[in-house]
Structure 1
Amino acid sequence: GVNESMLTGEPVPTMKRPGDTVYAGTFNSDGVLDIRTTRPASDTRLARVLRMIEESQQRRAPSERFVDRFARYYTPAMFLLAAAVALGPPLVLGEPFSLWFYRGMLTLLISCPCALVISTPVAMAAALATAARRGLLIKGGAFLEEAARVRVVAFDKTGVLTLGEPRVEEIVPLRGRDLSEILAQLAALEHYSEHPLARAIVAHAAEKGILPRPVEQFHIQRGIGASAVIDGTQFWAGNSRMLELAEADSSPEARELLSRGADTVVICGEGAEAWALVRLQDPVRPEAASVIAELRELGVLHTAILSGDHPSAVEAVRAAVGIDESRASLLPEDKRVAVEQLEKRYGGTIMVGDGVNDAEALAAASLGVGVGGAGADIALESAQVVLMSPRLELLPDLIRTGRFCLRVIRQNIAIALGFKLLFLLLAAQNMATLWLAVAADMGATLVVIFNGLRPLHGPTTQR
């Protein structure tokens, strides 16, 4: 097995078969591997993760920007106040200069903004480090704050709520078509697609000893299906929208199969004639229902499935895991519109997806979460948070980490300002000394730093 814990946070080694992807930066636990390099070092998964971490450090959270803006005015104001204390009474009232100069220095030391300025970045850095250690790559503190304010979570179905490992259960020929001919055409077409359903069909054909043939003019229509010219004839495969697009006739048998429960159905055909329907099953993730229940306990008001699959298949998954709403047969732009509608109605929205079809919705959401275990690169680029392994239980951890971090930041700001206010009052009563002011400033800074490091342990233990 290959140990991918450095990238995914998953300690169990992953078994690799011929043709599987082996990531740079992982470790071969046992056996011998023959590996072929497919990408340059700058484009490996590890290199992309490192780039994302570097970018995350440049994206400042709103609370960080607020503290910076506050310090921009606070610091010169305190300088002016200290100067007024030191020079005002001697110049205006003729008081002793040495006494009021001492008090001015005391005011300057007490009001030093070190603890205030460091109150936010320490907590943010600790929270981001903890999240990365657990397999949550957050591309900046701003997105950690968004996670704390989430009100609705929307999911893609295939590969997110399901395992993303569909299996061909049945191929139903229509109009007397030969099964082996159908499978040969399907294998040739789907060989060039990266969709999980396409990979399942190609694997099923390989089990039957059918190898892909060359095709021409291969074309993918996102959220619908694919088409290509095979042996001079236009062949297509996809969901029910592809059937409409090809203006193909559907038999009563086809309509009956399309209306079945949780099964996903791929329709294939030639020209305006449907050849067959392929019924596939993709098991629901065992942890999905408990994660949905946990999200509700965290105060998430609404959950939804946004999928391009057939309504009956989407509804079956919705009922199985306890999600509030399902929307099916959605094109990528439809998913984006649905996310915008959910955000307008409920507020902060998380969209969880893993494929090219989800990229628009991920970008439109308050917080896009890409599932990195099987995700397309474009989806991971569009997302602001990446789950380095497809474990849905990381979602509640993301929300908890965001809320815990914000709570620590508020505590730090209160501690920093509280120390300043207390010693300003002591100075006004002539009860503070210069050494006490130095100790108070350093003490406040140390308290803020130690409190800010609490997110390193996180609000919950890793599962």
Structure 2
Amino acid sequence: MLPNYQKLTFEAGFVVATLITPRRLRSTMSDTDGTETVRLSVPDMDCPSCAGKVTGSVGSVEGVADADAQVTAGRLVVDYDPDRTDSAAIREAVESAGYAVENGGEETLSVPEMDCPSCAGKVENALAGVDGVAGYETRPATGTVVVESAGASRSDLVAAVEGAGYEVADPAGDDASAAGVGAPDSVWTSPRALKTWAGAALLVAALVLHFSALANPELFAVGSVTLTVADVAFLLATASGGQAVLRNGYYSAKNASLDIDLLMSAGIVGALAVGLYLEAATLAVLFSVAELLERYSMDRARDSLRELMELSPDTATVVRDGEEETVPVEAVRPGETVVVRPGEKVPVDGVVREGASAVDQSPITGESVPVEKGGGDEVFAGTVNEEGYLEVEATAEADETTISRIVELVGDAEQSRTQHEQFVDRFASYYTPAVVGLAVLTVAVPPLLWSAPFETWFVRGLTLLVVACPCAFVISTPVSVVSGITSAARNGVLVKGGDHLEAMGELDNVAVDKTGTLTKGELAVTDVVPLNGNDKADVLRCAHGLERRSEHPIAEAVVDYATETVGRDERPVENFENLPGKGVKADVDGVTHYVGKPGLFADLGFDLGHTHLTTDGGAVVSDDPADDGPVVAADETGGICEDRDDCLDLLGDAVPQFQREGKTIVLVGTEEELEGVIAVADEVRPGASEAVARLHDLGIERVVMLTGDNEGTARAIAERVGVDEYRAELLPEGKVEAVEELADDGVAMVGDGVNDAPAMAAATVGVAMGAAGTDTAIETADVALLGDDLRKLPYLRDLARKANRVIRQNVWSSLAVKAVLAAGAPLGLVSVAAAIVVGDMGMSLTVTGNAMRLAGVSPDDE
């Protein structure tokens, strides 16, 4: 975790209850291959005691193997033996515990071969006929189907999908396969590919015989049809290359799906029926090759998601009963100690208990520099231990780690449909029937009305059937969205949906919270001004001695800086007294010292309009890298004393200047002497001003800073980072009003994801910063910057703009090609082969390849 990560706070009672309540209930029944899983939504199960009642009731059902109550999600995941119970009995058990089950439980099915819109259509039609299905969503870009079940079992859903002609991957397999993400190279050696290559070889041989001067003897006659050697080769090529096409066409007809498989099957069968063997073989083989290429392209698009899945190791070294034991990462439970040696990946989310090391967090946060980790620091699954030995206490199970949530949310992102995608879907619903109707008219009208050659117009109609396939422009948007969102996730930016990515590229305004976003959210010493002959060390040692007894945030900043700069002051401190609203006082070495506001020293009788700087070695020590020089210079303060030029008017000069820079000052001294001035401030994040400037370069018209801080501090930070305007002293509702004013032209609200939740909800896009490991921010924000680098915001803007540009290119280019082919086919200007190679295979490859360019967009481009 970054040094300044944000932490959520919970009520003490909730934390204690969470620690003493078992999250998972296991029966004595061991897991077997025959168990099934049902996921139930139980929104009222929102506390550990609720979870205890629910799991206790469900655990009493015979046949339940495992009940996992996920309180933060309001979800219950139950593994059960379908031979001994069913999902209905489990629902009744939950309801008998006093909790309503919301329709419905969620089932995710991995369907690797569902990689095109027509495939998804068949699956959807099949699921629509299953009793107990409340809703479903197909995601061709990731090969998954998400079903909202209202009583349907997993076996019912699997049977329906398989009835549509698609195999459901085994959920017990590895993560990659379980998500429908296979190795792209396996496409070329699959059974379908081998049949296609055989069909292609037969087609080439048949073409040679058909068009060359070689002998092409007649072999036999079937009724009145005489078949030559070439004809037989064409038929064999059709059977070999078109077997999968015809099979899919059968399932399309069975599920009443007017899709490309049905159209191609109708074309092949029709061509065979009228004796056009060459056209049938060409259509079967070329379309099968196009399908393989489309599947390969889609698998390449899924590569990035598979890489995310493979970040976390499969095994972990756990200390049990004093012995190290290597176990599957799924077997590690919260509270167990995991050993991570140099060069190994951290297998689970957890907290370092022993050891120290630099950890490469780039897979999670996108940081390029390893982060030092020691006792009490948080680490994430999938990050790499660079050099040291670490013992990590696990804080989450394997399926609840940050990287697991990221993979899940990236997969879910496909369900948030962009405006472009909605337009394409609406257009496709009219386009395909219209072109099919045109194909029918092309085949029927000329021969009937003008006695034109039927064979000629049949081929032209067949070509239109190929053109009627909308696959290229239907996949043009989702493949671009998945590519862009996965690219962002690899660089530490989690985008929750394509609609948010699209909006981020089109909005004109950005509102940014100050504390914790533009600034670090932690006070730090920025300046030390020694006075009256004291040096910097004197001032800091005195301040350390007194402030270490105080719990004020300013005191903590002073103590940390003093300890780092001059070390701890071990002198005895006696008679410590807190002076409410003013400061503190105590005796150090028998002398009473004070640390506090200027008003405290004014009450002690000091003339704050006239004091003297220490000039040996420089009057001011500044630790603010943005300062160009001393805040108060000795040669600028003369004129009060006739014989000295080191005079300083604290109230008239120094204090106002510090306040203009957003700094707070405390004075250090005794009852007799002012020893020095210490200035503290919430430091601006490195790269904040660079991020604001880059946002302007990327088309953002207004960057507005929102803060509840005072006017002076707000003005100083605003000038420092270069925002266009700022609004200070805002309550939460004031931030909401400010965001709503900017919303007409689209606005992103950037905050911590917790305190700024109302303003983020009112924005076009809510962006949470520093969200790694923060459940609330990851779950509630539209976009989460997983690190604390604000420069990821312009990277996101750049990626979003490029994604929108790629989507527009894909949609309009594929539509243009289809329009040209549709116009040329009835005129005989487009052949069947050209329609497949250019309109289907060519455009599918083109839009996928164009979308994959988004994977190359990185923060380094900024």
What residue number does 1:457 align with? Answer: 856
1:76-91 to 2 correspondence within 5 Å?
Answer: 76-91=433-448
Residue 253 of structure 1 deviates from its aligned partner by 6.7
Contact 2:547 2:556 in 1 (8 A): no
Q: Which residue of the other structure, out of 488, 502, 517, is the alignment partner of 1:160?
A: 517
Matched to 1:452, the amino acid is A
Contact 2:380 2:402 in 1 (8 A): yes
Are 2:453 and 1:134 aligned?
no
Inter-CA distance 90–116: structure 2 relative to 1 (3 Å threshold): same
What residue number does 1:147 align with? Answer: 504
1:150-189 to 2 correspondence within 5 Å?
Answer: 150-167=507-524, 186=551
Inter-CA distance 289–449: structure 2 relative to 1 (3 Å threshold): same
Inter-CA distance 327–376: structure 2 relative to 1 (3 Å threshold): farther
Matched to 1:5, the amino acid is S
What residue number does 2:759 align with? Answer: 361
Residue 374 of structure 1 deviates from its aligned partner by 7.1
Q: Which residue of the other structure, out of 464, 472, 478, is the alignment partner of 1:107?
A: 464
Inter-CA distance 426–76: structure 2 relative to 1 (3 Å threshold): closer
Residues 354-386 of structure 1 show CA distances to partners (whole Å, capped at 9, x for unaligned) of 252111111211111111257854334332111
Inter-CA distance 100–298: structure 2 relative to 1 (3 Å threshold): same
Contact 1:264 1:313 in 2 (8 A): yes
Inter-CA distance 116–199: structure 2 relative to 1 (3 Å threshold): farther
2:472 and 2:822 map into 1 onto residues whose CA distance is 15
Residue 101 of structure 1 deviates from its aligned partner by 2.1
Residues 380-427 of structure 1 show CA distances to partners (whole Å, capped at 9, x for unaligned) of 433211112122222222111111111112211222122222223333
1:50 and 1:199 map into 2 onto residues whose CA distance is 39
What residue number does 1:447 align with? Answer: 846
Contact 2:366 2:491 in 1 (8 A): yes
1:216-227 to 2 correspondence within 5 Å?
Answer: none
2:710 and 2:400 map into 1 onto residues whose CA distance is 36
1:18 and 1:149 map into 2 onto residues whose CA distance is 44
1:301 and 1:434 map into 2 onto residues whose CA distance is 50
Inter-CA distance 157–136: structure 2 relative to 1 (3 Å threshold): same
Residues 195-239 of structure 1 show CA distances to partners (whole Å, capped at 9, x for unaligned) of xx89859978999899xxxxxxxxxxxxxxxxxxxxxxxx99xxx
1:459 and 1:135 map into 2 onto residues whose CA distance is 10
Matched to 2:366, the amino acid is G
Residue 92 of structure 1 deviates from its aligned partner by 4.3
Inter-CA distance 55–438: structure 2 relative to 1 (3 Å threshold): closer
Contact 2:435 2:467 in 1 (8 A): no
Are 2:677 and 1:312 aligned?
no
**Identity among equivalent pairs (%):** 39
What residue number does 2:683 align with? Answer: 283
What residue number does 2:785 align with? Answer: 387
What residue number does 1:337 align with? Answer: 737
Inter-CA distance 396–6: structure 2 relative to 1 (3 Å threshold): same
Residue 349 of structure 1 deviates from its aligned partner by 0.6
Q: Name the SS of the counterpart of 2:371 in structure 1.
A: coil
2:835 and 2:394 map into 1 onto residues whose CA distance is 61
Inter-CA distance 342–251: structure 2 relative to 1 (3 Å threshold): farther
1:228-247 to 2 correspondence within 5 Å?
Answer: none
1:279 and 1:377 map into 2 onto residues whose CA distance is 35
Inter-CA distance 374–451: structure 2 relative to 1 (3 Å threshold): closer
What residue number does 1:427 align with? Answer: 825
Inter-CA distance 36–148: structure 2 relative to 1 (3 Å threshold): same
Q: Which moved more, 1:50-59 or 1:138-147?
A: 50-59
What residue number does 2:806 align with? Answer: 408
Q: Name the SS of the counterpart of 2:789 in structure 1.
A: coil
What residue number does 2:378 align with? Answer: 21
1:59 and 1:23 map into 2 onto residues whose CA distance is 27
Inter-CA distance 179–152: structure 2 relative to 1 (3 Å threshold): same
Contact 2:439 2:464 in 1 (8 A): yes
Matched to 1:433, the amino acid is S
Residue 432 of structure 1 deviates from its aligned partner by 2.4
2:373 and 2:728 map into 1 onto residues whose CA distance is 34
Residue 56 of structure 1 deviates from its aligned partner by 1.4
Structure number having the greater helix percentage: 1
Contact 2:524 2:683 in 1 (8 A): no
Number of equivalenced pairs:
401
1:39 and 1:445 map into 2 onto residues whose CA distance is 41
Residue 156 of structure 1 deviates from its aligned partner by 1.2
Are 2:693 and 1:293 aligned?
yes
Residues 141-169 of structure 1 show CA distances to partners (whole Å, capped at 9, x for unaligned) of 11111111121111111221123342267
Residues 30-88 of structure 1 show CA distances to partners (whole Å, capped at 9, x for unaligned) of 22333333444444322332332232132222211221121112111111111121123
2:385 and 2:478 map into 1 onto residues whose CA distance is 37
Contact 2:460 2:826 in 1 (8 A): no
1:413 and 1:135 map into 2 onto residues whose CA distance is 28
Residue 16 of structure 1 deviates from its aligned partner by 2.0
Residue 302 of structure 1 deviates from its aligned partner by 0.8
2:434 and 2:521 map into 1 onto residues whose CA distance is 58
Inter-CA distance 289–295: structure 2 relative to 1 (3 Å threshold): same
Residues 299-348 of structure 1 show CA distances to partners (whole Å, capped at 9, x for unaligned) of 2111111112222112110011111111122222221221111223xx11
Q: Name the SS of the counterpart of 1:101 in structure 2.
A: helix
2:837 and 2:544 map into 1 onto residues whose CA distance is 83
2:848 and 2:501 map into 1 onto residues whose CA distance is 19
Contact 1:359 1:378 in 2 (8 A): no
Inter-CA distance 307–279: structure 2 relative to 1 (3 Å threshold): farther
Residue 440 of structure 1 deviates from its aligned partner by 2.2
2:729 and 2:849 map into 1 onto residues whose CA distance is 51
1:150 and 1:384 map into 2 onto residues whose CA distance is 14
Q: Which runs of 5+ in 1 are unaligned?
A: 171-177, 191-196, 211-234, 237-249, 268-277
2:414 and 2:558 map into 1 onto residues whose CA distance is 42
Matched to 2:681, the amino acid is Q
1:32 and 1:199 map into 2 onto residues whose CA distance is 31
Are 2:476 and 1:119 aligned?
yes
Inter-CA distance 439–368: structure 2 relative to 1 (3 Å threshold): same
Residue 8 of structure 1 deviates from its aligned partner by 0.8
Q: Which moved more, 1:31-40 or 1:68-77?
A: 31-40
1:459 and 1:410 map into 2 onto residues whose CA distance is 21
Matched to 2:817, the amino acid is F
Contact 1:264 1:309 in 2 (8 A): no
Contact 1:412 1:451 in 2 (8 A): yes
1:18 and 1:331 map into 2 onto residues whose CA distance is 37
User: Normalised by the size of structure 2, how large is the TM-score?
Assistant: 0.42
Q: Which runs of 5+ in 2 are unaligned?
A: 1-357, 528-542, 571-579, 582-596, 602-650, 667-677
Q: Which residue of the other structure, out of 408, 424, 430, is the alignment partner of 1:73?
A: 430
Q: Name the SS of the counterpart of 1:430 in structure 2.
A: coil
1:252 and 1:303 map into 2 onto residues whose CA distance is 37
Rg comparison, structure with higher value: 2
Contact 2:771 2:784 in 1 (8 A): no
1:393 and 1:410 map into 2 onto residues whose CA distance is 27
